[in-house]
């Protein structure tokens, strides 16, 4: 009987091994998978003025990086919930606004910029400076993972180092000028006057057009 019991146990083991095991459900299969790698902190849109200043310590080492800081500040200001923080960022990054006690919105040469930043229907103007946007995709992009569309850069001139931002809704790039601080060695915006110029409107795929 002892030999019969051993034989039966072995037979059951063989049968069990030969039966296909049920596949794990997708959520069970992924449960132990490593978490997705976090986004680069330097790419995320800052939520507070302090975060912005910390990011600029790295981004501001080059005019191209300072371009990202500047566009970040505009995007933060465009959101009514973070407008006050955005205003602080703009005052920090634009040399002209570092002095004086008036907010930039009250300066005569900045009123068009301020009006278009606050108007949701004009947001696409500033979105158009992001690489990969277009009128066809309604200038959509990820605020926490984007690059400024810089066509070319050049030194010299009375306005400092120029980065030519290419709007994906315009035929020519706009020059944004930067100057370097003699104290921090970081770059700040010296001139932005062409920035709020109009660009092509987003194309609504649901609207009938004729060509």
Answer whether residue 19 is part of any domain: no
Q: Which pLDDT score is estimated for 86?
A: 98
Burial class of 16 by CB neighbour count within 10 A (0 to 12, 13 to 18, 19+): exposed
Residue 1: DSSP 8-state: -
Q: Nearest Cα to 120, choosing from 149, 171, 77?
A: 77
Q: Which pLDDT score is estimated for 42?
A: 54
SS3 161: strand
How many domains, in total, are found in the chain? 1
Answer whether residue 96 is part of any domain: yes
* This prediction's pTM: 0.79
54 is in which domain, residue-wise?
49-191
Answer whether residue 74 is part of any domain: yes
Answer whether residue 30 is part of any domain: no
Instruction: Assign 158 a pLDDT band (cuts: 50, 70, 90).
Output: confident
Answer whether residue 109 is part of any domain: yes
Q: Which tens digits make up the pLDDT trace of 38-91?
A: 344 457 999 999 999 999 999 999 999 999 999 999 999 999 999 999 999 999
Instruction: Assign 192 a pLDDT band (cuts: 50, 70, 90).
Output: very high
Alpha helices in 94-149, H assignment, sequence order: 111-118, 123-127
Contact indicator for 50, 70 with CB cutoff of 8 Å: no
Q: Which tens digits make up the pLDDT trace of 99-114?
A: 878 999 999 999 999 9
Q: Tokens for 205?
A: 């795929």
- Residue with the bigger pLDDT between 10 and 94: it is 94
Answer whether residue 125 is part of any domain: yes
């Amino acid at each position: 009987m002892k030999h019969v019991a051993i034989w039966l146990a072995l037979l059951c083991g063989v049968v069990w091994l030969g039966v296909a095991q049920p596949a794990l459900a997708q959520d069970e299969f992924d449960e132990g998978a490593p978490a997705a790698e976090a986004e680069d902190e330097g790419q995320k849109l800052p939520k507070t003025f302090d975060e912005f200043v910390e990011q600029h310590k790295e981004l501001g080492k080059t005019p191209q990086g300072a371009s990202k800081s500047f566009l970040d500040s505009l995007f933060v200001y465009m959101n009514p919930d973070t407008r006050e923080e955005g205003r602080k960022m703009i005052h920090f990054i634009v040399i002209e606004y570092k002095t004086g006690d008036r907010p930039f919105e009250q300066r005569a040469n900045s009123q068009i910029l301020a009006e278009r930043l606050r108007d949701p229907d004009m947001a696409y103007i500033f979105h158009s400076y992001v690489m990969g946007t277009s009128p066809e995709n309604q200038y959509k992009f990820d605020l926490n993972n984007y690059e400024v569309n810089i066509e070319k850069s050049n030194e010299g001139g009375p306005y400092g180092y120029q980065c030519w931002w290419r709007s994906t809704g315009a035929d020519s790039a706009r020059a944004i000028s930067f100057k370097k601080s003699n104290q921090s060695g970081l770059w700040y915006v010296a001139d932005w006057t062409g920035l709020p110029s109009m660009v092509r409107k987003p194309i609504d795929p649901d609207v009938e057009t004729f060509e």
